[in-house]
């Protein structure tokens, strides 16, 4: 409790002092070996200038209703960064994390639509990654949120797929474009026959529904090779590149 109140203070100060920044991690297209996608991952810069990872503050921010403010800042900064790159002739697509609780929020929907519409017509529309889908209170409203953003060219991805709260049911009902296979299936892929079977099953179902697949936590070359054999579309992880403030 004490620590949560302390973190609440840190988060509020960081919001006031504009100390939340996006970092970017590359996503490799396994079909053609190119990198055109990055995932945006939030970092807090503390008062001494040290970089604080989201594991330290996301739970508290979600519990205390501060996550929306952080997500809005990260969306705004990512799209601004994308526009700057575009002016230099560099075309990239960004995946941005949304808290599933955000899907109940009409105000946020309006904000997102405005920000996406401000993007030049050449700018690729973002992919929004959803975790903790069980936190969606009203599935009908969430689907409307997703459809609204898809109608202006955005895409959606189910994060941490295969564990916890994501499931095939959400794949069907939420009309997503990508699944991100959870790291627990990828870490030991070369050693575990079961994990290869699970990944294969997820890929079959996803592709059957016209949904693309991304593997996260890809840390070595053998994993890349297996992912290609299993028909996974994209790979993300330290072997491809670590998150960094620049791309």
Residue ranges binding Ca ion (CB under 5 A): 97, 129, 159-160
Q: Which does 54 bind (CB under 5 to 8 A by kind): ligand C2E, Ca ion, none?
A: ligand C2E
Q: How far is the CB of 42 from ligand C2E (least distance, A)?
A: 4
CA atoms within 13 A on the CB side of 212: 13
Q: Which does 243 bind (CB under 5 to 8 A by kind): ligand C2E, Ca ion, none?
A: ligand C2E
User: CA nearest 183: which of 159, 210, 157?
Assistant: 159
Binding-site member from 14, 37, 71, 136 for ligand C2E (CB under 6 A): 71
Instruction: Give the dihedral sign, CA 163/168/173/179.
Output: positive
3-state secondary structure of 3: helix
**CB–CB of 57/7 below 8 Å?**
yes
The helix, strand and coil proportions of the chain, stated in percent and rounded to the nearest 5, come to: 45, 20, 30
* Residue span binding ligand C2E (CB under 6 A) among the ranges 92-100, 104-112, 200-208, 223-231: 92-100
What is the x/- site pattern for ligand C2E, positions 13-52, by CB under 6 A?
------------x---------------xx----------
Measured from the CB atom, the residue of 45 and 121 that comes closer to ligand C2E is 45
Please name the residue that has the structure tokens 């593997």.
215
Q: How far is the CB of 99 from ligand C2E (least distance, A)?
A: 4
Q: How far apart are CA 30 and CA 38, in angstroms?
A: 14
DSSP 36-47: EEEEEEEEEE-T
Phi, psi of 239 (to 5 degrees): -65, -35
* Residue span binding ligand C2E (CB under 6 A) among the ranges 67-75, 85-93, 140-148, 197-205: 67-75
**CB–CB of 190/222 below 8 Å?**
yes
Residues that contact ligand C2E, how many (by CB under 6 A): 23
Residues found near ligand C2E in the complex (CB under 6 A): 25, 41-42, 53-55, 58, 67, 71, 74, 97-99, 129, 131, 159-160, 216-217, 219, 237-238, 243
């Amino acid at each position: 409790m004490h620590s949560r109140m302390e973190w609440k203070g840190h988060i509020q100060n960081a919001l006031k002092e504009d100390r939340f920044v996006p970092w970017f991690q590359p996503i490799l297209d396994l079909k053609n070996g190119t990198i055109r996608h990055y995932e945006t991952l939030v970092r807090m810069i503390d008062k001494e200038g040290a970089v604080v990872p989201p594991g330290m503050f996301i739970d508290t921010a979600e519990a205390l209703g501060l996550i929306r403010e952080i997500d809005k800042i990260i969306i705004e900064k990512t799209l601004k960064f994308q526009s700057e790159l575009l002016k230099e002739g560099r075309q990239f697509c960004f995946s941005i994390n949304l808290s599933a609780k955000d899907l109940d929020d009409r105000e946020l929907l309006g904000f997102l639509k405005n920000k996406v519409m401000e993007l030049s017509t050449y700018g690729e529309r973002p992919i929004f990654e959803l975790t903790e889908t069980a936190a969606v209170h009203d599935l009908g409203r969430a689907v409307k949120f997703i459809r609204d953003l898809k109608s202006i060219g955005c895409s959606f991805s189910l994060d941490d797929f295969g564990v916890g709260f994501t499931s095939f049911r959400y794949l069907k009902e939420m009309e997503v474009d990508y699944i991100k296979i959870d790291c627990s299936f990828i870490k030991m892929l070369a050693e575990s026959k079961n994990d290869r079977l699970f990944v294969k099953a997820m890929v079959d179902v996803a592709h059957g529904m016209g949904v693309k697949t991304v593997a996260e936590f890809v840390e070595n070359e053998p994993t890349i090779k297996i992912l290609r054999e299993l028909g996974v579309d994209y790979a993300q992880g330290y072997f491809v590149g670590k998150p960094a403030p620049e791309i």
